[in-house]
Amino acid sequence: MHMTEPHLPIVIIGGGFSGTLSAIHLSRRLPNVPIILLEESSTAGPGLAYRSSDPSAWLNVPAGKMSAFPDKPDHFLRYAQIALGEGVVPDDFLPRRIYGHYLANCLREEQEKNPLLRVDHRRAIDVISPDSTGTARVVLKDHHTIDASLVVLASGNQGSAFSSSIWASHTLPARDPEAIAKVKADQSVLIVGSGLTMIDTVLDLHRRGDAKTIHAISRNGLLPQPYAHPSKLELPDLDHLPDSNLRKTVRLFRQAIDRQIAKGGDWRDVFAAIRSSTPSLWQELSFKDRTKFLRFLSPFWEVHRHQCPPEIHEKVRHLIATGKLILHRGTIVTVERGEKGPRMGLAARNRNAPTRWLEVDHIFDATGPARDIQSIRHPLIQNALRRGFLKPDTHRLGAETSADYRAIGRDGKPASWLFVVGPMLRARYYEATAVHELRLHTAALATRVEAELRIRDPEKPMQPA
Ligand SMILES: Cc1cc2nc3c(=O)[nH]c(=O)nc-3n(C[C@H](O)[C@H](O)[C@H](O)COP(=O)(O)OP(=O)(O)OC[C@H]3O[C@@H](n4cnc5c(N)ncnc54)[C@H](O)[C@@H]3O)c2cc1C
């Protein structure tokens, strides 16, 4: 290839947090390389998470901790102060849509500096591996194709954990304004899931004042814990936690919590202290211990790790106390048509407990995005699986990837051209959904993509002359 021949574009599929930040980091590192960010919705930046137009859908992390750039911790705060007023302080929980505007603005600013960074609002439905000239191809829904040197899969939160359940056809999607509008005055509702998505749905329904009674069910019936500011105490040193023995790790972790509380601190300090070592702990666990963790501990881990704003927690507690929200601990064992609507058999966690029956008008699926990529119905993911470019991990948390973000295919080999970023990285890191982790992954991904291009074309200028 001649040195002056232009670079083929890097194509990033998905313009949510992961794709947008990857595009920005790549644009800064490789200003001579065209980058195409494919985002099927009309705005790149917010993604599924921060697209909500509802002003009362809140971030679950305070503004001071939501910067998209770890080296500029006040970046989001400063944007929010300009957008909403100087009164915004780091501890404030802000509407999610402000964060969506922030991400779109970060992208716009980068595009103003780099005309080679383009956004294309079309849907990718397939990817084709490189031909003999090294050209990979992205197939779009409108049957056009885009040639690419490399493809970054950042398609994000898709499907739902409940969608493969046989009861899924009876459910409405949570957080969907049209579905919420179907609930009429005095109707009752069951929400499947008891996490942050359930809370959003309850508050949506409650605001409209329609639902008579809201039931929610999950395996453990656990609610997310309320956020509280970290104590002023020094964070405990958790470096001594053994990597490969779950039982011992959990015991020492609990002891660290007890010690922190005895010193006047808070359990959240210990969760904060372990955050950066979670990926290595996860990677060192045996298959058996990972299975045990997912089965018995992860529900508790999740509600402590992914907390909600204290005011929201308070509201939910009030709804429970006044009987407007009833939490059930168990699973749905059967759904049949009752007189008014679906009639459900619920089994408590204790298998010996008799099946209880519940009749509601609507069921909402609030189980959150699917982790098992095989259950995602999006043609892009299905085609990538069919072609063997993606491989689910054995615990069905996401996609197998190498340490440098390459997709590991069915043949067990890391791809030279297909990279993955976003929640699918859970398979490797366990924690890979929050901004705190994804901002680091997107920056690291850009360094790996740059390294790959430099190996391929050492002579080609990646920076302007
Ligand atoms: C409702 C919600 C609230 C959250 N709140 C917080 C919070 O307060 N704090 C925090 O730290 N974390 C939060 N998170 C977690 C985290 O920030 C998100 O999971 C994160 O935004 C993931 O970004 P993403 O780009 O990987 O995925 P997504 O946000 O799902 O974006 C993926 C994008 O890709 C596009 N796309 C997908 N497939 C294609 C295709 N084939 N062609 C073209 N475009 C495609 C979609 O339209 C979408 O815009 C939240 C998550 C959710 C779901």
Q: In whole angstroms, what is the distance from residue 254 CA to residue 266 CA?
A: 12
Given a contact cutoff of 8 angstroms between Cβ atoms, the answer to whether 31 and 47 are in contact is no
Q: In whole angstroms, what is the distance from residue 155 CA to residue 176 CA?
A: 20
Pocket of ligand 1 (CB under 6 A): 13-19, 38-41, 47-49, 59-61, 123-124, 154-157, 380, 422-423, 433-436, 438
Q: Ligand 1: distance of its center to the CA of 12 in Å?
A: 14
Residue of 435, 440, 442, 445 best suited for mutating to test ligand 1, as the one with most atoms within 8 Å of CB? 435
Q: Ligand 1: distance of its center to the CA of 252 in Å?
A: 34
Amino acid 244: pLDDT: 75
Q: Do strands 214-218 and 325-337 pair parallel, antiparallel, or not at all (unpaired)?
A: parallel
Ligand 1 atom nearest to CA at 157: 30
Q: Ligand 1: distance of its center to the CA of 102 in Å?
A: 14
Amino acid 161: pLDDT: 67
pLDDT by 10s per residue, the chain, length 465: 444 567 899 999 999 999 999 999 999 999 999 999 999 999 999 999 999 888 888 999 999 999 999 999 999 999 999 999 999 999 999 999 999 999 999 999 999 999 999 999 999 999 999 999 999 999 999 999 999 999 999 999 887 766 666 667 778 888 888 888 888 888 889 999 999 999 999 998 888 876 678 999 998 999 999 999 878 888 888 877 766 789 989 999 999 999 999 999 999 999 999 998 899 999 999 999 999 999 999 999 999 999 999 999 999 999 999 999 999 998 888 888 877 778 877 777 666 777 888 888 889 999 888 889 998 989 999 999 999 999 999 999 999 999 999 999 999 999 999 999 999 999 999 999 999 999 999 999 999 999 999 998 877 777 666
Quote the DSSP letter at residue 308: B
In DSSP notation, 380-433 reads HHHHHHHTTS--B-TT-SSB-B-TTSEEE-TTS-EEEEEEE-SGGGHHHHS--S
Q: In whole angstroms, what is the distance from residue 221 CA to residue 299 CA?
A: 9
Amino acid 107: pLDDT: 98
Give burial (CB, 10 Å; 0-12/13-18/19+) of 463.
Answer: exposed
Question: Tell me, which fold does domain 168-225+308-365 have in CATH?
Answer: FAD/NAD(P)-binding domain (3.50.50)
Question: Tell me, which fold does domain 10-57+95-159+371-456 have in CATH?
Answer: FAD/NAD(P)-binding domain (3.50.50)
Residue of 157, 365, 401 best suited for mutating to test ligand 1, as the one with most atoms within 8 Å of CB? 157
Ligand 1 atom nearest to CA at 154: 26
Report the predicted TM-score, pTM, of the whole model to 2 decimal places: 0.94
Q: Whose CA is nearest to atom 38 of ligand 1?
A: 155
Ligand 1 atom nearest to CA at 99: 8
Q: What residues does CATH 3.50.50.60 cover in the chain?
A: 10-57+95-159+371-456, 168-225+308-365
Given a contact cutoff of 8 angstroms between Cβ atoms, the answer to whether 211 and 187 are in contact is yes
Q: Whose CA is nearest to atom 1 of ligand 1?
A: 49
